[in-house]
Amino acid sequence: MYKIGFNQGTTLENSSLIQDLEFCTKYGYDYIEIRSLDQLKEYLKENTLNDLKEYFDNHRIKPLSLNALFNINNRSDKMFEEVLAEFQEMVRYAEYLEIEYIVAVASFFDEIEAEKRLTKNEIKDSAVKTLKIFSDILKESNVKVAFEFVGDSICTVNTLGQAITIVEEVNRENIGYCIDAFHFHSMGSRLTDLDKVDMDKVYFVHIDDCEDYPIGFFKDEDRVWPGEGVIDLESFLSSLKANNFNGIFSIELFRPDYYKMDPEKVIKKAYDTTKNVLDKYFV
Ligand code: ZN
């Protein structure tokens, strides 16, 4: 049987960690993905990490990941030091809260200091080097890194095929994937690649759907409730199932229309539409 998580991006502009936890618990989610970059910081202004730990100790819902660490590859030495410092802070939080995964995202061309375009090999070499550094830092830890490719034409790693070459070259127990159905669709990742992935390293999947745009033109705001868009979820989910994926799905939407809704309704609808799609294709 599968498990359902909630990614806080889904209510980014209309909720808070306290509210997300309350409604996720009420509607039966197994996991929450905590946004370390903003919503956790907001929470810690009025609460402590220990408050959060106690919440998880006393409720069924558990934290799935901290997300996300961005722009991890092809950085200048100086900028990489900042990335590393942020990573180390996330590791401290993850260990304290017993969160198994930190999501790390490849660099965006417009966010890095590259003076020229980068070849796939230059990107791979740098991403592999960074992920091995993360892996070494986590050697004595239970925390793992879920590397997420982003299906955007300006992301340095934007297909599953590219992510596979990186994670396989890293070849460490604690470095795997988060595969996002939207990112898989939006740059035309191939189902043949999904069939090739080492499923023991697919730590969890971001589930979502989206409006119909040409490849390379998608934005996160185009995401819609699972089952209400054009992603071929049938093939995507059937492949995961056939390859014995562990079954952890986390819904992640960033839709401005949904930010205008009551967060409780968003959290309930996100659960219901996710369950509906998973029941159809994954059970
Ligand atoms: Zn995602």
pLDDT of 177-215, one tens digit each?
999 999 999 999 999 999 999 999 999 999 999 999 999
Please give the distance, rounded to the nearest whole angstrom, from the Cα atom of residue 180 to the centre of ligand 1. 5
Tell me the CA–centroid distance for residue 148 and ligand 1, in Å.
7
Indicate the pLDDT class of residue 114, thresholds 50, 70 and 90. confident
Measured CA distances, 15 to 21, 54, 64, 259 (Å): 10, 21, 19, 9
Interval between CA 111 and ligand 1 midpoint (Å):
18
Evaluate whether 107 touches 73 at the Cβ level (below 8 Å). Answer: yes
Separation CA 257–CA 236 (nearest Å): 26
Helix (H, G, I), strand (E, B) or coil at 79: helix
In angstroms, the CA 90 to CA 88 distance is 5
Give 55 Cα–ligand 1 centroid separation in angstroms. 25
Distance 179 CA to ligand 1 centre (A): 7
156-171: pLDDT as tens digits: 999 999 999 999 999 9
- Per the structure block, which two tokens stand in for 6? 């909630």
Contacts of 210 (CB under 8 A, 6+ apart): 182, 185, 186, 218, 222, 223, 224, 229, 230, 231
How many angstroms is it from 32 CA to the middle of ligand 1?
13
| Per-residue confidence (pLDDT) for residue 252, from 0 to 100 | 98
Q: How far away, in angstroms, is 129 Cα from ligand 1 center?
A: 23
Distance 167 CA to ligand 1 centre (A): 17
Label residue 146 by pLDDT band (50, 70, 90): very high
Cα(212) to ligand 1 centroid in Å equals 18
Ligand 1 centre to CA of 113 (Å) is 24
Distance between CA atoms of residues 263 and 17, nearest Å: 11
Predicted local distance difference test score (pLDDT) of residue 108: 96
pLDDT of residue 40: 97
Ligand 1 centroid–CA 54 distance in Å is 27
Give helix 263-281 / helix 17-26 axis angle, nearest 10°: 50
Asked if pLDDT for residue 283 goes beyond 90, the answer is no
Ligand 1 centre and the CA of 103: distance in Å?
9
